[in-house]
């Protein structure tokens, strides 16, 4: 019998114990030090009998028992078995994206026997949670220098554009014209993206809020940051948009075009943009309501929804816009003062006048 270690799993330590995490089948269990050492001998397919042959009989019997248990548990895969075929299908489909991508996908994939609460049960669970674990605030103020934005018109002129016409006109722009963007229009864009909906501005007891863009459970984890390079009436540099107060908060230095390009995966068109919006996610907002790993997928979907709203509003405003997720997260985190443990970087939108 030829066996090897399954490749649809990962090992990690928990309280000094080695945990086998089979992300394909959503199983986790502890394995012994002996089992861990044996796994190292089977990084590639090897014949069990040949490997054990040099050992004394008592050792062969003891180790064969452990190996049989590892095969039964799926830690070791028998060559040509159904489990081996299943693994080959996985590796063929996901090889190009590497182990981390397939781990994320399958670990957050919902299996057929996954339990789901009904709406009433979920509401009751959240109600009980409110008494012991308060929800995180849906808006943030970072303090420091605040720049009030012009008041938002109830019905801005660009809103008269027909939705279908805007959809057809939407393009990803990587070349921008000269001249600054008007601060009032930038403020209107930010308000549509990240301020409460003017028709439903109330914040719920659990921290839910309504905005123009949908978000899983109304949690809206996405924060919007602004780097201004050429905006009328706004000093260049990094800002945080406080949607509850409709103000920009100065948080960081001015980035050169080269620094912005470096953070955006060496994309020079992002560095040339008069305005860049950086999107992050405050994970605790979503995690407070949804405690399963699948909720991390929802966070990624949220920024996709928000990006499309930014595209459509920018198009209606007559701006050019392009989105990118090809970022050096660490550089953006340092500029924004956030970290990868609580507030994660998701993407950027670069905006400017349309080229003539």
Q: What is the CATH number of the domain that holds 11?
A: 3.90.930
pLDDT at 316: 96
Copy the structure tokens of residue 152: 């938002």
Please report how many Cα atoms fall inside a 13 Å half-sphere around the Cα of residue 78, on the Cβ side. Answer: 10
Q: Do 84 and 227 fall within a single domain? A: no
Domain that holds residue 12: 2-107
| pLDDT (tens digit per residue) in 216-275 | 999 999 999 999 999 999 999 999 999 999 999 999 899 999 999 999 999 999 999 999
Residue 87 domain-assigned (yes or no): yes
Residue 130 domain-assigned (yes or no): no
Q: How far is C-alpha 257 from the geometric centre of its chain's CA atoms?
A: 26
| pLDDT (tens digit per residue) in 145-185 | 999 999 988 888 888 889 999 999 999 999 999 889 999 99
Q: Which CATH number fits the domain that encloses residue 271?
A: 3.40.109.10
317 phi, psi to nearest 5 deg:
-75, -15
Distance (Å, whole) CA 329 – CA 347: 9
Which of 27-31, 132-136, 149-153, 242-246 bottoms out in mean pLDDT, i.e. has the lowest? 149-153
Token look-up 């999107």 returns 279
Copy the structure tokens of residue 6: 């399954």
Q: Do 202 and 297 fall within a single domain? A: yes
Q: Do 33 and 162 fall within a single domain? A: no
Q: Do 76 and 143 fall within a single domain? A: no
Split into its structural domains, the chain has a count of 2
Q: Is the Cα torsion angle 213, 216, 219, 222 positive or negative in sign?
A: negative
Residue 115 domain-assigned (yes or no): no
Per 3-state DSSP, what percentage of the chain is helix, strand, and coil (rounded to 5)?
40, 20, 40
Q: Do 150 and 194 fall within a single domain? A: yes
Provide DSSP, 214-254: --GGG---EEEEEEESSBTTB-SEEEEEETTTTEEEEEEPP
Average pLDDT over residues 47-54: 93
Q: How far is C-alpha 25 from the geometric centre of its chain's CA atoms?
A: 23
Output the CA angle 322-163-286, nearest 5 degrees: 60
- Those residues whose C-beta lies under 8 Å from the C-beta of residue 158, and which sit 6 or more positions away, are 185, 188, 313, 316, 317, 318
Q: Do 143 and 266 fall within a single domain? A: yes
End-to-end distance of the chain based on CA atoms, in angstroms? 70
Q: Do 157 and 297 fall within a single domain? A: yes
Distance (Å, whole) CA 177 – CA 52: 72
Residue 174 domain-assigned (yes or no): yes
Distance (Å, whole) CA 308 – CA 31: 46
Token look-up 């720049």 returns 147
Report which secondary-structure segment, H or E, holds 320. Answer: strand 319-324
Q: Do 148 and 99 fall within a single domain? A: no
CA nearest to 216, candidates 224, 228, 208: 208
Residue 201 domain-assigned (yes or no): yes
CA nearest to 263, candidates 144, 350, 341, 181: 350
The residue out of 58, 87, 107 marking a domain boundary is: 107
Distance (Å, whole) CA 186 – CA 196: 16
Distance (Å, whole) CA 76 – CA 43: 10
Q: Do 195 and 300 fall within a single domain? A: yes
Residue 336 domain-assigned (yes or no): yes
Q: Do 37 and 81 fall within a single domain? A: yes
- Going by the DSSP 8-state scheme, the letter that residue 181 receives in this structure is B
Q: Do 103 and 141 fall within a single domain? A: no
| pLDDT (tens digit per residue) in 276-329 | 999 999 999 999 999 899 999 999 999 999 999 999 999 999 999 999 999 999
Residue 250 domain-assigned (yes or no): yes
pLDDT at 161: 85
Residue 118 domain-assigned (yes or no): no
* Band (207; pLDDT cuts 50, 70, 90): very high
| pLDDT (tens digit per residue) in 60-117 | 999 999 999 999 999 999 999 999 999 999 999 998 999 999 999 999 999 999 888 8
Q: Do 91 and 141 fall within a single domain? A: no
CA nearest to 344, candidates 273, 284, 275: 284
User: pTM (2 decimals)?
Assistant: 0.91
């Amino acid at each position: 019998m030829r066996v090897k270690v399954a490749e649809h799993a990962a090992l990690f330590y928990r309280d000094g114990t080695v945990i086998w995490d089979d992300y394909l089948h959503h199983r986790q269990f502890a394995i012994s030090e002996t089992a861990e050492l044996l796994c190292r001998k089977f990084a590639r397919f090897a014949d069990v009998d040949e490997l054990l042959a040099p050992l004394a009989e008592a050792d062969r019997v003891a180790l064969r028992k452990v190996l049989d248990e590892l095969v039964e548990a799926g830690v070791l895969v028998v060559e040509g078995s159904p489990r081996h075929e299943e693994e080959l299908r996985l590796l063929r489909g996901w090889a190009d994206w590497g182990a981390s991508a397939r781990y994320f996908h399958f670990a957050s994939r919902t299996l057929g026997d996954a339990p789901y609460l009904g709406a009433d049960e979920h509401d009751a669970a959240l109600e009980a949670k409110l008494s012991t674990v308060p929800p995180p605030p849906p808006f943030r103020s970072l303090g420091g220098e605040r720049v009030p934005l012009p008041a938002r018109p109830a019905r801005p002129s660009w809103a008269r554009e027909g939705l279908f016409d805007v959809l057809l006109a939407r393009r990803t722009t990587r070349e921008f014209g000269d001249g600054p963007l008007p601060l009032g229009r930038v403020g209107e864009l930010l308000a549509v993206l990240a301020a409460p909906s003017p028709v439903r501005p109330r914040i719920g007891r659990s921290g839910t809020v309504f905005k123009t863009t949908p978000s899983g459970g109304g949690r809206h984890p996405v924060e919007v940051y602004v780097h201004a390079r050429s905006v009328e009436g706004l000093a260049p540099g990094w800002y945080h948009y406080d949607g509850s107060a409709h103000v920009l908060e100065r948080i960081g230095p001015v980035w050169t075009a080269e620094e912005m390009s470096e953070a955006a995966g060496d994309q020079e068109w992002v560095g040339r943009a008069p305005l860049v919006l950086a999107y992050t996610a405050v994970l605790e907002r979503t995690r407070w309501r949804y405690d399963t790993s699948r909720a991390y997928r929802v966070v990624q979907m949220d920024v996709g929804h928000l990006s499309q709203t930014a595209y459509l509003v920018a198009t209606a405003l007559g701006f050019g816009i392009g989105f990118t997720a090809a970022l050096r997260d660490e550089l953006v985190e340092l500029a924004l003062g956030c970290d990868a443990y609580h507030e994660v970087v998701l993407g950027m939108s670069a905006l400017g006048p349309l080229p003539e």
